[in-house]
């Protein structure tokens, strides 16, 4: 799977100067409700000549290899500038996390042939000028696509959220929703490795089986088959929940609140069930925060970036030792992007939703 | 106002052996919705002979001087045993915080004439066997009734909640709801002394005036006159809110969530607007917890009792130095108990709601 750096560089040099068809996925305009495939469109644009990056620009010309579908991107489809990240621009290429190969560089931190991860465009080739958050990937045995999943933002979200926000203790009862998703699957496995009792919820029998059989969860249930989420949680947590890693919000959060133990902690992450609602579902059981002295905390992984190096070291080791498994839902070709992204909101994916733009 | 300890003891001795009419307020039965006066009744019971406490019982015979009306007592009117405190028993005397004079003692920590605070009955004379949480009050210049308010559970709730849960920084923007209440008025004053900018909400013009003119709040508003709480908060906090000390829950909490600043903290205390609702109002804006990385924490003062001695020292000093004002709504006579308690839920009281059972 891995090729030598020299080979990567040779390919980069070879592409430079060529004229390519640069397929792009365009954001059509601001939306309400659940994203639809028609909110995006494939543009097979004018031919692009892969020229050297202008001197003094500090930029990079890259070939995109993998793109990441993440629920937070839904937030950028609203015309709202007050968030932590600006909205997409209608008519422009969608932006997201990706893994890319550097073809040319005017930045001394990167050279042709380097494989990098960070923000890029949903297109085959991108010119990147915002280079501060790009990271060079060291070649090893781990699939490159993991750098937008297990070893990227979702994995780091799980790591920072679980250790820093949930502050787990050995033996505690941990509940994870959207447990087979990009974040949830790592939260559950870290919790098991930490000595916790872990139950996850997901939206299909297949996902539930994977949680129990492949990811080592102590229990799992299909929330779509539970008439009463409170009862489902009571069945799985007769002693109550110490830590709820909430990836969905909504009625699952309400049910979890009733089942929290004293001094419990709830990490609020993503709220995927609520991302698309202009009038989000009401949460009715917050009074439980008082009676059970529960701490509920929203967080963004970007506030914990000082921990990224130790995350990368820890999780890379665990992965290489076979102590952590990571499920990906790989979608072939840039064309599959809109459908893959939309699938996030219907729970179509099993594991991290990734688009393979190019084999390298 | 204060009498010498010898005088207190003489009075105690004088009462012992007498037969008295022991008026009581009885809890009639479990309720739903907002408490009504008719949920309680005055019982002018059989005559009671004030006899010495049985040897070996460890108990106290007390004459009750002041009783406290607190919102948490509403929770004890439900037939629900899963809370941090058991429900009241129908047909029995209501229990609550009070200030009492010891008439006789079988407990070496207390002697006749001592003035104590802690749990007692809503009646003129009580036999108390649960003595662990009783506290002997040192006679000084502070009104005795303050020991169920400023220097009692509500004051300590303000102190622990503000310093331990909100973790304030100098210059931060602090919002307090139910700001003229037993807890809120101290939160606001502690925040001012800490160097914060403080705005409070309350339910009448008179209360708003008091917040600004007597308690030194930087701003205040009458929530009943605001058509849009979000707009009211934006007017008072154009820069947003760092700390929200939430005494009410419901729509005020929802509006505050929209106005939180990054890394804001919300202390959830009491939720008086929700105490009486069997189907509490939904909170819709929790997604703000993520985008603003807000920590929202429920708490009970009883988890922080190790801080009680420093609280008592600090707040007693501030009170004696005139740096803190405390408003009481004094109700005369045990008979006034049901109306005083019910008034808590309509916002009738200005300041701490207290019942004076006996002048001493």
A265-312: per-residue pLDDT in tens?
999 997 665 666 666 788 999 988 988 999 999 998 989 999 999 999
CB atoms B289 and A297 under 8 Å: yes
Q: Three-class SS string for chain B?
A: CCCCHHHHHHHHHHHCCCEEEEEEEEECCCCCCCCCHHHEEEEEEEEEECCCCCCCCCCEEEEEEEEECCHHHHHHHCCCCCCCCCCCCCCCECEEEEEEEEEEECCCCCCCCCEEEEEEECECEEEECCCCCCEECCCCCCCHHHHHCCCCHHHHHHHHHHHHHCCCCCCCEEEECCCCCCCHHHHHHHHHHCCCEEEEEECCHHHHHHHHHCCCCCEEEEHHHCCCHHHHHHHHCCCCEEEEEECCCHHHHHHHHHCEEEEEEEEECCCCCCCCCCCCCCECCCHHHHHCCCEEEECCHHHHHHHHHHHHHHHHHHHHCCCCCCCEEEEECHHHHHHHHHHCCCCCCCCEEEEECCCC
CB atoms B268 and A289 under 8 Å: yes
**A–B CB contacts, 8 A cutoff, strictly below:** 105
pLDDT given for residue A1 in this prediction: 41
Q: How many Å apart are CA B324 and CA B251, to the nearest integer?
A: 30
What is the least distance, in Å, from the CA of A198 to any CA of chain B? 23
Ordered strands of the B197-202 beta sheet = A219-222, A197-202, A173-176, A241-246, A260-268, A295-298, B295-298, B260-268, B241-246, B173-176, B197-202, B219-222
Give the chain A residue nearest B289 (alpha carbons): A298
Contact yes or no for A129/A57 (Cβ under 8 A): yes
CB atoms A289 and B295 under 8 Å: no
Give the chain A residue nearest B251 (alpha carbons): A282
State the Rg of chain B over Cα.
Answer: 21
Contact yes or no for A117/A98 (Cβ under 8 A): yes
* Chain B contact set for A291 (CB, 8 A): 83-84, 298, 300
Please report which confidence band the pLDDT of residue B237 belongs to, taking 50, 70 and 90 as the band edges: very high
CB atoms B288 and A298 under 8 Å: yes
What is the least distance, in Å, from the CA of A88 to any CA of chain B? 17
- Select from A165, A290, A291 the residue whose CB has the most chain B CBs within 10 Å, as the one to mutate to test that interface: A290
Name the residue facing B84 among A269, A285, A291 (closest C-beta). Answer: A291
What is the least distance, in Å, from the CA of A66 to any CA of chain B? 27
CB atoms B84 and A281 under 8 Å: no
Name the residue facing B295 among A271, A282, A297 (closest C-beta). Answer: A297
Give A42-63 pLDDT, tens digit per residue. 998 778 889 899 999 999 999 9
CB atoms B282 and A283 under 8 Å: yes
Q: Minimal CA–CA distance to B136: which of B114, B107, B106?
A: B114
CB atoms B283 and A287 under 8 Å: no
Q: Please report where in the chains the tokens 């050297």 appear, as a residue.
A: A52
Give the dihedral sign, CA A313/A314/A316/A317.
positive
CB atoms B280 and A296 under 8 Å: no
* Chain A contact set for B297 (CB, 8 A): 289, 293-296
What is the least distance, in Å, from the CA of A292 to any CA of chain B? 7
- Per the DSSP assignment, residues forming a β-bridge with B245 are B176, B267
Please report which confidence band the pLDDT of residue B12 belongs to, taking 50, 70 and 90 as the band edges: confident
Q: What is the mean pLDDT of residues A189-194?
A: 98
For chain A, the residues whose C-beta falls within 8 A of a C-beta of chain B are 75, 83-84, 249, 253, 268-271, 274-275, 279-300, 303
pLDDT given for residue A79 in this prediction: 87
Please report which confidence band the pLDDT of residue B4 belongs to, taking 50, 70 and 90 as the band edges: low
CB atoms A283 and B287 under 8 Å: no
CB atoms A295 and B300 under 8 Å: no
Give A222-252 pLDDT, tens digit per residue. 999 999 999 999 999 999 999 999 998 999 9
pLDDT given for residue B3 in this prediction: 52
What is the least distance, in Å, from the CA of B292 to any CA of chain A? 7
Q: What are phi and psi of A253, to 5 degrees?
A: -65, -45
- Select from B274, B277, B289 the residue whose CB has the most chain A CBs within 10 Å, as the one to mutate to test that interface: B289
pLDDT surpassing 50 at residue A2: no
pLDDT surpassing 70 at residue B307: yes
Give B87-142 pLDDT, tens digit per residue. 999 999 999 999 999 999 999 999 999 999 999 999 999 999 999 889 999 888 89
Structure tokens at B280: 């509490």
pLDDT given for residue B1 in this prediction: 41
pLDDT given for residue B2 in this prediction: 46
* Chain B contact set for A301 (CB, 8 A): none
Q: Give chain A's domains with CATH numbers.
A: 1-149+327-356 (3.90.180.10), 153-303 (3.40.50.720)
Name the residue facing B298 among A75, A290, A300 (closest C-beta). Answer: A290
Separation in Å, CA B115 to CA A340, B54, B153: 71, 20, 17
Contact yes or no for A353/A340 (Cβ under 8 A): yes
* Chain A contact set for B300 (CB, 8 A): 290-291, 293
pLDDT given for residue B280 in this prediction: 75
* Chain A contact set for B289 (CB, 8 A): 268, 296-298
What is the least distance, in Å, from the CA of B297 to any CA of chain A? 4
Selection from B188-197, B268-277, B339-348 with the highest mean pLDDT: B188-197
Give B41-95 pLDDT, tens digit per residue. 999 877 888 989 999 999 999 999 999 999 889 989 988 877 778 999 999 999 9
Give the chain B residue nearest A304 (alpha carbons): B293
pLDDT given for residue A279 in this prediction: 67
CB atoms B295 and A292 under 8 Å: no
Separation in Å, CA A98 to CA A20, A47, A354, B9: 20, 22, 9, 80
- What global pTM score does this model have? 0.87
Q: What is the mean pLDDT of residues A28-33?
A: 93
What is the least distance, in Å, from the CA of B268 to any CA of chain A? 6
Q: What is the mean pLDDT of residues B271-291?
A: 77
Give the chain A residue nearest B81 (alpha carbons): A291
pLDDT surpassing 80 at residue A186: yes
Contact yes or no for A353/A341 (Cβ under 8 A): yes
CB atoms B281 and A282 under 8 Å: yes
Name the residue facing B289 among A84, A282, A296 (closest C-beta). Answer: A296
Please report which confidence band the pLDDT of residue A129 belongs to, taking 50, 70 and 90 as the band edges: very high
Mean pLDDT, rounded, of chain B: 93
Strand extents, DSSP E, chain A:
19-27, 40-49, 60-68, 95-105, 115-121, 125-128, 135-136, 173-176, 197-202, 219-222, 241-246, 260-268, 295-298, 328-332, 352-356
Q: What is the mean pLDDT of residues A336-349?
A: 93
Give B147-172 pLDDT, tens digit per residue. 999 999 999 999 999 999 999 999 99
């Amino acid at each position: 799977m891995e090729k030598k750096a020299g080979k990567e560089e040779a390919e980069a040099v070879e592409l430079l100067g060529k004229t390519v068809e640069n397929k792009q996925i365009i954001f059509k305009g601001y939306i309400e409700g659940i994203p639809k495939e028609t909110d995006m469109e494939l543009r097979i644009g004018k031919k692009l000549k892969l020229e050297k990056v202008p001197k003094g620009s500090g930029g990079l010309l890259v070939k995109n290899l993998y793109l990441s579908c993440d629920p937070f991107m839904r937030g950028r489809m609203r015309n709202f500038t007050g968030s932590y990240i600006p909205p997409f621009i209608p008519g422009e290429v969608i932006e997201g996390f990706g893994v890319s190969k550097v073809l040319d560089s005017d930045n001394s931190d990167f050279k042709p042939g380097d494989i990098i991860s960070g923000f890029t465009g949903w297109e085959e080739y991108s010119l990147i000028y915002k280079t501060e958050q790009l990271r060079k990937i060291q070649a090893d045995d781990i699939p490159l696509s993991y750098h937008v999943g297990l070893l990227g933002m979702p994995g780091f979200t799980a790591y920072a959220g679980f250790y820093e926000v949930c502050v787990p203790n050995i033996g505690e009862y941990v509940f994870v929703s959207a447990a087979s998703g990009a974040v949830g699957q790592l939260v559950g496995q870290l919790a098991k490795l930490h000595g916790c009792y872990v139950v996850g919820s997901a939206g299909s029998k297949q996902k539930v089986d994977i949680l129990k059989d492949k990811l080592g969860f102590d229990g799992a249930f299909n929330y779509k088959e539970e008439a009463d989420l409170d009862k489902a949680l009571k069945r799985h947590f007769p002693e109550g929940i110490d830590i709820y890693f909430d990836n969905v919000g909504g009625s699952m959060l309400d049910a979890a609140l009733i089942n929290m133990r004293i001094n419990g902690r709830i990490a609020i992450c993503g709220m995927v069930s609520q991302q698309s609602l202009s009038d989000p579902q009401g949460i009715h059981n917050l009074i439980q925060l008082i009676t059970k002295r529960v701490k509920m905390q929203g967080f963004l992984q970007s506030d914990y970036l000082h921990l990224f190096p130790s995350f990368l070291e820890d999780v890379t080791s665990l992965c290489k030792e076979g102590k952590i498994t990571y499920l990906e839902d790989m979608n072939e070709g840039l064309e599959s992007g809109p459908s893959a992204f939309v699938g996030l909101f219907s729970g179509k994916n099993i594991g991290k939703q990734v688009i393979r733009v190019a084999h390298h």
